[in-house]
Structure 1
Amino acid sequence: MDILYRARYLVPIIAPVIESGGLLVRRGQIVDIGPAGELFAASPQARVVDFGDDAVLLPPLVNAHTHLELTHFPQWARALGESSPGDDFIDWIKHVIRVKRSLKPEQFSASIKDGIQACLAAGTGAVGDILSWFPAREAFRQCPLFGRLYLETLGRDPAHARHILQGLGKITGEVVSGRLRLGISPHSLYNLSSEYLEDLLSYAHRHSFPLAIHIAESREETEFLLHSRGPLADRLYPYVGWQDMVPMPVGQTPVAYLEAKGGLKPDNLLIHGVHVTLDECQAIARSGATVVLCPRSNARLGVGTAPISDYLEAGVDLALGTDSPASNDSLSMWDELAFARKVYAGRVEPQMLLRMATRNGACAIGLCADMGSFSPRMSAHFQAVRLDHLPEIGDLEEALVSSGKNVQVLSLVLAGREIFTLDS
């Protein structure tokens, strides 16, 4: 049976907002969108699900960068008596290492499962998730979320790196974990040897695996690559036993170095991208890679604010992510949007922010044809939300990206199946 979902507003993302909008669904697929009255007149046998005149229908949000295995991080830190290190980037990395070293393997799986539920309750339908404890991928087997699961790796010791790459090869043969396809995440340029980075890039190219890499997140990273000195060399490397592995300077900024290694490619995610030049933005745009901005995490760690105006001027595809609860207050993309609206005020329109959190995010993790917008023949992925105050149609997108915790998710439907309801 056809189902007609209706709300006061429908937001297709790739077309203007529709008042008294409807979404006609048949067997988990969108048949048509438009004014609800017209859709019902054309399909009078459809069952009507009316969310009311205080509701909005729009695509699920896409969290293009997160670490669901760290959902429980705040409580783990409290249990260890660890306090937040503030905005010192190196102290924060050491803090994360200490907490993760204290954990039992099963704690990662429980954390992932709660993270999945937090995402669904916040209207998130897809994620670009980073996983460092590979056995915990089993937690995604029955996961209703779509997206990509990036297997994280790092290392400077060549023998250890070869061993890790062999293990990655066995796992990536699975191709998919639940609804999440697999990718690879070389963690960052400052904790990978040049040889291991080249091996990972070559492996990903041969097997058509997308990559996700933290890049240009801090000034410390740039200083380390340019000169092999600074807090990463002086404080982090000795802390992890790498004091004899400080590399020779590469003499390039993070983006320039990754480009020289052949790592700027379509389907690859560049996470954070805070410290980049306009020329580097243009190089990223030419490559087709997507930059995932994580403004709340950047603010928490005091690493700066990404140059969103330069990215937009260069034509870079931008998405949004929450990063993890190790550097953020929630996994809610609605909260991330509201913060982004404030921190990027005057530099980006609300329509673009909403696109970053929906269609751009979906495209970044390989879901462009099926999620992130509304059009016939796409899968029926959507959410119904309620705001404290629903404005006139011309102000709707501003209200959506600014409301944060005042957005109430009434229902989340993925592939035509209701996954979350407010009542549940």
Structure 2
Amino acid sequence: MTAETIIAADLRINARWILPVEPAGVVLDHHAVLIQGDRIAAVIPQAEADRQCRARETVDLNQHVVMPGLINLHGHAAMSLFRGMADDLPLMTWLNEHIWPAEGRYVSEKFIADGTRLAMAEMLRTGTTLFSDMYFFPEVAAQMARDSGMRAQICFPLIDMPTPWGSGPEDYLAKGTDLIQQWQSDPFIQIAIGPHAPYTVSDGPLQQALALAEAQGSRIQIHLHETAFEVDEALKQSGKRPIQRLAELGLMSGNTQCVHMTALSEDDIDTVRRSGAHVIHCPQSNLKLASGFCPVTRLMAAGINVAIGTDGAASNNSLDMFAELSTAAMVAKAVSGDAASVSAHQALAMATINGARALGRDNELGSLVPGKLADLIAVDLSDPYLQPVYDPASHLVYSNHGRQVSHSWIAGVPQLQDGRLTRIDVPDLMLKVDEWRQRISNTR
């Protein structure tokens, strides 16, 4: 860029630090992000911006880190309305005796609309700009996200049994096909196929899901190897580990997002590596449900892309991605016995560019690179408990929590300004949430 070049920007963001994610491990001091329309135009030193930039609006964030928006790659957004309802239980007891009965009783289009808005409010407030959702009435969740200007991968559910959304696999696949076509090419909403788990979806529907994914170029997200019990039961029933079964069916590929992945043999890891599939790590949910430990260090050493998700608020009980990536880094160190495992920069990459890569969108999301979409957040590091600042990346992972997020932009449009949501009516939302609390409390 020459000294004569003049950059016309819609928005200039001056930051004390910028963590671009790409190049990896870099922190930029006293730089500016310039935004034109919905794209990043440049990331340059502030002194250079003073000479070369003409911006319609300037935001000064002199004690903040500016970085890409976080990508929460697995969750069940509307389950926020079940937060704290059935704690301290093992996975199958939690599902069979509490969650599935509650879903049968309460889940409806209104439940999904209100629960998804609650989840989005929490996620936007804590730095997430794109979330993946796997739940019922996905058409409602997609519309809620689009109306709020939030990016989402919406995984329509596929399961052998009837649910509030449909009668069975044929019904789910037909509705899902319509959903894919409805949202095709939308820059905010990406429709994926969400088979619940190998133990709840039989071979026929899985093969149909694969055919649909190949025909439409859709991602597949599935809970996989969530517990040792799941793997042991599969071996008893079929003589095959779930990953082996999916690989034989053709479902393990670069379009596959494998969620949880706690019980993995070396052969399992090699299968994932050869397939190009992605792993979605949900450490806090795995810890709370005592599901096991995802071997993140071994996966990364094998060259497997590992992203992060919070899971639903019913099993976490938070959708704060900063808390999640902190837990991911520390659990990886304990499991591997290596304090250098999953550095602060690697954890931040898991929550940004790795998530974009799993979505097939790393060419436009996940880092602050000119030409990419302007999805970014600012984190205020001025609080005494974050002082002194030697390494902002370290603070983001080990000292910060999401409530320090002060600003966010999606496609260059402000979603959070000085900690206030711009597109979600919080008082109205809280009234609806309290109505659900009273209804669920009175009928449990």
Q: TM-score, normalised by structure 2?
A: 0.84
The alpha carbon displacement at 1:423 in A equals 4.6
Q: Is 1:208 the counterpart of 2:217 in the alignment?
A: yes
Match of 2:176 in 1: 168
Once the two structures are superposed, residues 58-114 of structure 1 have per-residue CA deviations (whole angstroms, 9 ceiling, x without a partner) of: 111110111112111126x3xxxxx42x24221011121011112051112110111
Match of 2:312 in 1: 324
Once the two structures are superposed, residues 367-419 of structure 1 have per-residue CA deviations (whole angstroms, 9 ceiling, x without a partner) of: 212221011111222111113325555x2212111124375111001111111
After TM superposition, the runs of 4+ consecutive aligned structure 1 residues lying more than 6 A away are none
Change (3 A) 1:324 1:104: closer
Change (3 A) 1:35 1:392: farther
Q: For 1:109-258, what aligned pairs fall within 5 Å after superposition? A: 109-137=113-141, 138-155=143-160, 160-176=168-184, 179-228=188-237, 249=238, 251-258=239-246
Match of 1:246 in 2: none
Once the two structures are superposed, residues 233-265 of structure 1 have per-residue CA deviations (whole angstroms, 9 ceiling, x without a partner) of: xxxxxxxxxxxxxxxx2x111211111111111
Q: Is 1:41 the counterpart of 2:51 in the alignment?
A: yes
Contact map agreement 1:59 1:383 (CA 8 A) in 2: yes
- Letter in structure 1 aligned against 2:416: F
Contact map agreement 1:33 1:39 (CA 8 A) in 2: no
Contact map agreement 2:321 2:402 (CA 8 A) in 1: no
Match of 2:40 in 1: 30
Contact map agreement 1:152 1:187 (CA 8 A) in 2: yes
Larger mean Cα displacement after TM superposition, 97-106 or 168-177: 168-177
The alpha carbon displacement at 1:195 in A equals 1.7
Contact map agreement 2:126 2:405 (CA 8 A) in 1: yes
Task: Determine helix, strand or coil for the equivalent of 2:157.
Answer: strand
Q: Is 1:416 the counterpart of 2:412 in the alignment?
A: yes
Contact map agreement 1:336 1:404 (CA 8 A) in 2: no
The alpha carbon displacement at 1:162 in A equals 2.7
Match of 1:301 among 262, 286, 289: 289
Contact map agreement 1:64 1:321 (CA 8 A) in 2: yes
Change (3 A) 1:168 1:31: closer
In structure 2, runs of 5+ residues without a counterpart are 1-7, 334-338, 421-444
- Letter in structure 2 aligned against 1:146: R
- Letter in structure 1 aligned against 2:417: T
Task: Among all aligned residue pairs of Structure 1 and Structure 2, give the percentage whose two residues are the same amino acid.
Answer: 25
In structure 1, runs of 5+ residues without a counterpart are 78-82, 229-248
The alpha carbon displacement at 1:120 in A equals 0.8
- Letter in structure 1 aligned against 2:83: P
Contact map agreement 1:4 1:22 (CA 8 A) in 2: yes
Larger mean Cα displacement after TM superposition, 312-321 or 147-156: 147-156
- Letter in structure 2 aligned against 1:259: A
Contact map agreement 2:156 2:172 (CA 8 A) in 1: no
Q: Is 1:96 the counterpart of 2:99 in the alignment?
A: yes
Q: For 1:387-402, what aligned pairs fall within 5 Å after superposition? A: 387=381, 388=383, 389=386, 391-392=388-389, 395-402=391-398
The alpha carbon displacement at 1:46 in A equals 6.3
Aligned equivalents of 1:222 and 1:146: distance in 2? 34
Match of 1:60 among 42, 58, 69: 69
Aligned equivalents of 1:327 and 1:5: distance in 2? 37
Contact map agreement 2:138 2:155 (CA 8 A) in 1: no
